[in-house]
Amino acid sequence: MRSFVHALPKVELHLHLVGSAGVDTVLQLARRHPEAGVPVDRAELERFYAFRDFDHFLKVFWAVQSMLKGRDDIHTLVVGLAAELVRQNVRYAEVTVTPYNHLLDGMSGDELLAGLASGRAVAAGLGVELAWCFDIPGEKGLDGARETLAFALTERPEGLVSFGLGGPEAGVGRAQFAPFFDAARDAGLHCVPHAGETTGPETIWSAVRDLRAERIGHGTSCVADPALMEHLALKGIPLEVCPTSNVRTRQVASVEAHPVRQMLDAGLVVTLNTDDPPFFGTTLEDEYLAVATALDLGHADVARLAENAVLASFLPNRRKTSLLEEIAAVPAEV
């Protein structure tokens, strides 16, 4: 199964740029910015980076964020991500960027965009296409939403395909962001908010009804509401499921206990993703293998998960058809 998963041309739909930074990338950034206090010795950095608990994850995440000062740092981050995706035979990824956080940290919009563009060009040369989702950091409220929308629509960089909403869910109602999602949709961007990761089904209902979500980030709690699952299945709204992330953040006890089985049994469109892979000690291939093992899936079932991600992506139809044909051509015995 491992060789089969590797041979599948894969697509990833839920992946945060800052959270994609692996040890090699962080080592480059730490040596470039020693004032950040991040370990510059590989062994020490690996110990610092090893997942301990959610609070430690946040500490590492913000340490990486603090070293992103300009275009060279963003370029390094994107190229490091691209190299890791290529290693796993990932052909396309929609990567979430939170411009407002970078702007608050003092980076100019031009620097951010230049780093994204140059890194994306290198990624294309390596064989992986990157698209961008600009997301609202929900905890920053309406100011963050306003600035994120303005930046997305004013700058509109090549590769920007969607508009999202991340950050804490509890106490951050989805409905208040409806005008911003309406404007993004009117401008031709797809709408992909997080919902139902750390809160109940009501948050997913709000994302669907108020934000008119085309995909749901996480959506784990949907299984607590049969009517919601029926609605998601009927409308074909895909879920960006991140099993290991949910385990690490203690939303579920284990991959074996993850509601992904219930989602699949209910006919939901499940896609597998990593969220913040190096931070959580996973890869996209690991996610496929973990779910295949936990649910005792066969090769055809695993291939169907890969197909789901292609179909749920915002790739042009011609590219989707090409990837689906490649998936169908991968033999069970590789």
Whether 94 is a known active-site residue: answer no
Q: What is the pLDDT of residue 159?
A: 98
Is 78 a residue whose pLDDT tops 80? yes
Q: What is the pLDDT of residues 133-190, one digit of tens each?
A: 999 999 999 999 999 999 999 999 999 999 999 999 999 999 999 999 999 999 999 9
Q: Which of 329, 275, 281, 280 has its CA nearest to residue 306?
A: 329
- Positive or negative torsion for Cα 277, 278, 283, 287: negative
pTM for the model? 0.96
Calpha distance 299→4 (Å, rounded)? 8
**Residue 6: per-residue pLDDT:** 98
Kindly indicate the confidence band of residue 50, based on its pLDDT and cuts at 50, 70 and 90: confident
The catalytic residue among 84, 197, 285, 307 is 197
What CATH superfamily is the domain 2-327? Metal-dependent hydrolases (3.20.20.140)
Condensed to tens digits (0 to 9), the pLDDT of residues 174-196 reads: 999 999 999 999 999 999 999 99
Domain ranges of the chain: 2-327
pLDDT value of position 288: 98
Nearest to 243 by CA among 219, 262, 265, 260: 260
Distance from C-alpha of 295 to C-alpha of 270, rounded to nearest angstrom: 14
**What's the pLDDT at 49?**
86
The pLDDT value recorded for residue 58 is 87
Whether the pLDDT of residue 334 is over 80: the answer is no
How high is the pLDDT of residue 53?
Answer: 85
pLDDT at residue 3, as a whole number: 97
Mean pLDDT of the chain: 96
Question: Mean per-residue pLDDT for 223-239?
Answer: 98
